[in-house]
C-alpha cells in the first residue's frame, strides 16, 4: 500500500508538468510583452512608443494572458491526461466539463446559503468571477479536483455497458456523464471543507514562508524531492495555494506566490509601490532557481571536468557541457544531478543542504528578478531589462555559490574517488543521444531491461524514462549505459528510472514503437 501511494503521488507530480510546461514559454512571451508595454520601459526605449509597435505588443500581451487567466483549466486537463490510464482524450474532455460543473455547483451552494457577496467585497472572502460565474476562487486546486475525478471516471466507466434502451450513452460517452454527476456532491462539499483546508495550508505555510529560514527550507526540500519526482508537487503547492501566502494588491486578493508575482511583475512593474513584494516572491521562483541553473550547475560541471581522468577529458567535456547547458538554457537540472546521485547519495544530500543554506541570503539582498524557470533568458529579460532588480547582488551571491559548490564537489570527488562524468573506467564515446539516434537507443534499452516481455509500462517525465518491470534482477545496467543515459536507478522494487535529459520523450516514443513491432 505504501509503495502504491508513493507511486500515485509520483504520477500526480508528473501530471502537473504539462500545464507547467505550457506556462513557461508562454510566460516568457507574456513577460516580455508586459515589460515592453510598461511606461518606464517606453521612456527608456523610444521606438517602443510607436503606436504600431505598442499595438503588436498589446495584442501579444492579450493573447498570452489567456493562459494565466485560465490556470485551473490547464491543471484540470493536465491532471486528467496524466492520471488516466485508458482513453486520455475523453478524460481531458470530461475534466473541462467537470471543472465548469464544479464552478456552477459552488455558485448554487453560495446562493442557497446566502453567502454570495457583492463585487466590492468578493476578493476579501475568496470569491471571484471565473468563466463568467461568481464562485469560490479555488484556482489550481479546483482544476486538480476536476482532473482527478475525470481520470478516475475514465478508468472506471470507460467500458460501462448500459441496458439496450440506453446503450447509446454507454462506453466512453458515459465518462463525462459520470463526471458531471460526481461533481455535483463534490461541489456542495468543497465550500464546507474549503475553510478547513485553507487553515491547514496556512498552518503549513509558515515553515516555507518564514522570513528567516523559509526560503532555505523550501529550496532544500525542492532539491531533496527530485529523486522521488515530488518536487513539482511542492512547487505547485507554494505557487498556487494558500501555502504560498495570500496577498492583497490594489484591493485584490491573490492566492499563492505565482499569482501575486504575475500581478506585481506584469501589471504593475518596478515603479509601483507593490514592487516591494517582488524580492520576497521571486526568491521562491526564478531568483532562487537561478542560483542553481546559472551558478551551481556550472560549478559542479567544472569540478567534474577538472577531476576527470586525463584520457577521458575530451569525451567527458561534451557530456558535461551538454548537461550544464541543459540547465543554463532550459532549467532542466536533473541530468547533472542524477549523474552523481546514484554513485554518491551522501553527496546529493550535501548538495541539497547547500542549496538550502546558500539560498538564505536572498532574504536580505533585495533581488527582484522574475520569472519561473530561472534560465539565462529570465535573467536577461527580467533582470537586466527591468529596473530595481538589484541583479548585481544575484551575481555576487551566485559567485559565492559557484566557489562553494566547485570546491565542495572537487574535494568530494577526489577524496572518495567518485566515478562522476569523466572518471568512469572504460568510458565510451557514445554519440547516440547527441546524434538523435533514438531508434538505436531503443534497441539497446529494451534488451538491457530484459526484453519487451519484462516491461510492464513505459512512462517519462521531463528527463527520465520511468519503467515498470516484471523482474528487475534481469536488468543489465552496464548495457544500459551504452545507450547514452546519464543515470540509472531503482526508486522502488521493479521500477527503474533511466535519465536521458530533454530528449527523453523521443527516446520513450522510440521504445514504444519498438515494443509495438515486437
- Cα–Cα dist 264/258, whole Å: 10
The pLDDT tens digits for 334-383 are 778 877 876 788 899 999 999 999 999 999 999 999 888 788 888 988 89
The pLDDT tens digits for 281-297 are 999 999 999 999 999 99
For strand 127-130 and strand 133-136, is the pairing parallel, antiparallel, or unpaired? antiparallel
The pLDDT tens digits for 223-253 are 988 876 667 778 878 888 778 888 999 888 8
- Cα–Cα dist 231/108, whole Å: 36
**Cell 504539462 appears where?**
18
End-to-end Cα, the chain, rounded Å:
33
What would the grid cell of residue 71 be?
Answer: 490556470
C-beta of residue 474 within 8 angstroms of C-beta of residue 454: yes
DSSP labels for 29-71? HHHHHHHHTSHHHHHHSGGGG-HHHHHHHHHHHHHHHHHHHTH
Residues of the chain with CATH 3.30.1360.60: 438-517
- pLDDT attached to residue 266: 85
What's the chain's average pLDDT?
86
Residues 6 or more apart whose CB falls under 8 angstroms from that of 200 comprise none
pLDDT at 392 over 90: yes
Give the mean pLDDT of 110-122. 85
The pLDDT tens digits for 126-172 are 778 888 899 888 877 889 899 999 999 999 998 888 888 888 888 88
- Cα–Cα dist 11/81, whole Å: 11
Quick one: CATH architecture of 438-517? Answer: 2-Layer Sandwich (3.30)
Give the mean pLDDT of 465-472. 91
Specify which residues 127 forms β-bridges with: 136
- pLDDT attached to residue 213: 94
Give the residue, 219 or 491, on which the prediction is more confident: 219
Residues annotated as catalytic (active site), given as ranges: 461
**pTM passes above 0.75:** no
107: how many CB neighbours lie within 10 A of its CB? 19
Give the mean pLDDT of 23-34. 73
For strand 464-469 and strand 487-492, is the pairing parallel, antiparallel, or unpaired? unpaired
Give the helix, strand, coil percentages of the chain, each rounded to 5. 70, 10, 25
In whole angstroms, what separates CA 489 from the centre of its chain? 21
The pLDDT tens digits for 401-412 are 999 999 999 999
Amino acid at each position: 500500500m505504501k509503495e502504491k501511494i508513493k507511486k500515485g503521488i509520483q504520477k500526480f507530480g508528473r501530471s502537473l508538468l504539462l500545464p507547467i510546461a505550457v506556462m513557461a514559454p508562454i510566460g516568457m512571451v507574456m513577460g516580455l510583452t508586459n515589460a515592453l508595454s510598461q511606461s518606464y520601459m517606453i521612456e527608456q526605449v523610444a521606438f517602443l512608443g510607436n503606436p504600431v509597435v505598442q499595438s503588436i505588443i498589446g495584442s501579444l500581451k492579450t493573447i498570452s494572458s489567456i493562459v494565466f487567466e485560465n490556470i485551473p483549466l490547464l491543471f484540470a486537463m493536465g491532471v486528467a491526461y496524466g492520471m488516466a490510464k485508458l482513453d486520455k482524450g475523453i478524460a481531458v474532455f470530461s475534466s473541462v466539463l467537470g471543472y465548469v460543473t464544479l464552478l456552477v455547483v459552488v455558485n448554487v451552494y453560495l446562493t442557497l446559503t446566502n453567502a454570495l457577496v457583492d463585487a466590492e467585497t468578493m476578493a476579501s472572502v475568496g470569491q471571484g468571477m471565473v468563466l463568467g460565474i461568481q464562485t469560490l476562487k479555488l484556482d489550481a486546486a479546483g482544476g486538480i479536483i476536476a482532473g482527478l475525478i475525470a481520470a478516475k471516471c475514465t478508468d472506471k466507466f470507460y467500458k460501462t455497458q448500459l441496458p439496450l434502451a440506453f446503450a447509446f450513452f454507454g462506453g466512453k460517452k458515459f465518462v463525462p456523464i459520470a463526471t458531471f454527476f460526481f461533481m455535483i456532491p463534490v461541489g456542495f462539499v468543497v465550500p464546507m471543507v474549503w475553510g478547513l483546508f485553507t487553515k491547514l495550508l496556512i498552518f503549513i505555510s509558515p515553515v516555507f514562508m518564514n522570513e528567516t529560514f523559509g526560503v532555505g527550507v523550501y529550496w532544500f526540500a525542492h532539491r531533496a524531492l527530485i529523486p522521488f519526482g515530488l518536487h513539482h508537487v511542492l512547487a505547485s503547492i507554494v505557487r498556487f495555494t494558500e501555502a504560498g501566502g495570500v496577498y492583497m494588491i490594489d484591493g485584490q486578493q491573490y492566492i499563492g506566490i505565482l499569482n501575486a508575482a504575475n500581478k506585481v511583475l506584469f501589471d504593475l512593474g518596478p515603479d509601483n509601490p507593490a514592487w516591494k513584494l517582488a524580492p520576497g516572491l521571486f526568491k521562491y521562483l526564478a531568483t532562487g532557481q537561478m542560483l542553481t541553473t546559472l551558478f551551481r550547475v556550472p560549478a559542479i560541471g567544472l569540478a567534474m571536468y577538472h577531476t576527470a581522468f586525463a584520457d577521458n577529458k575530451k569525451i567527458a567535456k561534451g557530456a558535461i557541457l551538454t548537461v550544464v547547458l541543459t540547465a543554463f538554457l532550459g532549467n532542466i537540472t536533473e541530468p547533472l544531478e542524477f549523474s552523481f546521485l546514484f554513485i554518491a547519495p551522501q553527496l546529493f544530500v550535501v548538495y541539497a543542504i547547500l542549496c538550502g543554506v546558500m539560498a538564505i541570503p536572498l532574504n536580505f539582498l533585495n533581488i527582484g528578478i522574475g520569472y519561473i524557470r530561472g534560465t539565462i533568458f529570465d535573467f536577461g529579460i527580467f533582470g537586466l531589462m527591468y529596473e530595481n532588480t538589484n541583479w548585481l547582488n544575484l551575481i555576487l551571491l551566485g559567485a559565492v555559490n559557484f566557489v562553494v559548490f566547485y570546491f565542495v564537489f572537487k574535494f568530494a570527488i577526489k577524496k572518495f574517488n567518485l566515478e562522476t562524468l569523466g572518471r568512469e573506467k572504460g568510458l565510451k564515446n557514445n554519440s547516440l543521444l547527441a546524434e538523435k539516434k533514438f531508434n538505436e537507443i531503443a534497441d539497446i534499452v529494451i534488451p538491457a531491461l530484459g526484453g519487451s516481455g519484462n516491461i510492464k509500462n513505459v512512462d517519462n517525465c521531463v528527463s527520465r524514462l520511468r519503467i515498470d518491470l516484471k523482474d528487475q534482477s534481469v536488468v543489465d545496467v552496464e548495457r544500459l549505459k551504452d545507450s547514452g543515459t546519464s543515470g540509472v536507478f531503482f526508486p522502488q522494487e521493479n521500477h527503474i528510472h533511466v535519465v536521458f535529459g530533454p530528449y527523453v520523450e523521443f527516446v520513450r516514443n522510440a521504445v514504444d514503437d519498438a515494443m509495438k513491432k515486437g
